[in-house]
Amino acid sequence: MEFFNLSAVPNSRKSLLDVTNTESLTSSIQRQDCTLYSRVGFRGMGAESFLMSHGLPIPSKPNQSLLFEHGLVVLRLSKSEFWLVDLDNTYHELIETLEFDAKGLEDVYRLFCQHSHACFLFKGEQTAAMFSKVCGVDLRSDAFPLGSVAQTSVARTNGIVTKQDSDSHGEFFLLLSDLASSHYLWEALADAASEFV
């Protein structure tokens, strides 16, 4: 059977959220559902050199992230696990190329985070304070500088949080969590954000 890449059909993706009315939220914290944007993960002892061979920057330690050309976040979750998240929905071709080039390589295994995780972006001066209501990790700047990654619980849901700064978004927090809990988590964070006007 031919190799079929489900991530290669971005127009067929669906979100579990109906965000048509959610932006009426009165809060100083802005939020965006990026779940339909392209992303991919790779794991294995060869993953780091594989990504570097494609010209991607690699964080030097686990639980760090880097921004590539202002729109692609590269997260290092462990010594040998990396996720790439397209924030501007402009890196689909690169991600698709990586998925196909990894096929058949030894020590490089593709992770299907496109299909397992929701992806939310939050920004605004009070965002760290908002997260303090639902997350046990201190995300204030002194404790959680740019490029930090926390694998933690957010509103009683497993999540991955990183903080970055880009030309198009400014300083922002990116949250990845279990896709099946995306509606619950979106509403829980809307409730937490509503206290910051």
Tell me how many degrees the CA angle 166-175-22 measures, rounded to the nearest 5.
Answer: 95
For the cut 50, the answer to whether the pLDDT of residue 22 exceeds it is no
Q: What is the pLDDT of residues 73-114, one digit of tens each?
A: 999 999 999 999 999 888 999 999 999 999 999 999 999 998
CATH architecture group of domain 21-193? 2-Layer Sandwich (3.30)
Tell me the sheet residues that pair with 163.
173
Q: Where are the domains of the chain?
A: 21-193
Looking at residue 148, what is its pLDDT? 98
Residue 53, judged by CB atoms within 10 A of its CB (0-12, 13-18, 19+), counts as exposed
